[in-house]
Chain A
Amino acid sequence: AQKITQTQPGMFVQEKEAVTLDCTYDTSDPSYGLFWYKQPSSGEMIFLIYQGSYDQQNATEGRYSLNFQKARKSANLVISASQLGDSAMYFCAMREGQRGGSYIPTFGRGTSLIVHP
């Protein structure tokens, strides 16, 4: 079974608007971490934001915020005030470890975001 599910293969947003990219996860480990990465067309993987399972507050990094709903096992990425340069693939990932996991993240299949001018 997939541990990370990204149900939106593609998303479109108007420049300057906010967009939410969905991510749900599956784990029985009480200690885990969630990540979002951006992959522009140039191919490099860029780390955006991290949320630990014990963190009380939602993580924020500039225009990126992570809407962490632990009971629903969701970790959606919110990008505010979209810019043309936000057009890219976005990957959600999860690291487990306490119950025999490897502490190495596993990734979802990604969501392609296109920002329209």
Chain B
Amino acid sequence: NAGVTQTPKFQVLKTGQSMTLQCAQDMNHEYMSWYRQDPGMGLRLIHYSVGAGITDQGEVPNGYNVSRSTTEDFPLRLLSAAPSQTSVYFCASSDPGTPSTGQYFGPGTRLTVT
């Protein structure tokens, strides 16, 4: 199993550009989520999905879109990048039937917006 994969690992964008962060998991997990991590702020939930075709907003959804057309993939789209979106982005997946195993995290994408 590859677990949770994220691409790219690093990205530099100019203000106003758009891009998609990719996330895929091969564990057949129903739940997937996107977090951003900023210094001193912990991980904040952007969007999440409890199954294919179902998405919802987290704590900090503005400026981001998601879709979940398959169980495996959960891409995060930045519509018009802003310097405030400079952050490390983590994708995670979990099996709701076994909460004691926690979430599986991808390695993260470090995004810089200039």
Binding site for B on A (CB under 8 A): 4, 6, 9, 33, 35, 37, 43-45, 47, 50, 52, 91, 93, 95, 102-110
Complex contacts, A44 vs chain B, CB 8 Å: 105, 107-108
- A selection of 29 A-B contacts at a CB cut-off of 8 Å is A35-B102, A35-B103, A37-B102, A43-B88, A43-B108, A44-B107, A45-B90, A45-B92, A45-B103, A45-B105, A47-B101, A47-B102, A47-B104, A50-B99, A50-B101, A50-B102, A52-B100, A95-B99, A102-B50, A102-B56, A103-B31, A103-B50, A104-B58, A105-B103, A106-B45, A106-B59, A108-B42, A109-B42, A110-B42
**In the A-B complex, the 8 residue pairs with the closest CB atoms:** A47-B102, A45-B105, A109-B42, A107-B43, A107-B42, A104-B48, A50-B100, A104-B33
Kindly provide the distance from the CB of A47 to the nearest chain B CB, expressed in whole angstroms.
Answer: 3
Complex contacts, A35 vs chain B, CB 8 Å: 102-103
Complex contacts, A107 vs chain B, CB 8 Å: 35, 42-44
Kindly provide the distance from the CB of A31 to the nearest chain B CB, expressed in whole angstroms.
Answer: 10
B41 to A, closest residue via Cβ: A109
Main SS of the interface on chain B? strand
Task: Provide the bound-state CA to CA distance between A112 and B95, in Å.
Answer: 29
Task: Provide the bound-state CA to CA distance between A43 and B94, in Å.
Answer: 19
B85-114 interface code vs A (CB 8 A; 1 in, 0 out): 000101010101001111111011000000
Interface residue B53 (Cβ < 8 Å from any Cβ of A): no
Partner of B45, one of A9, A47, A104: A104
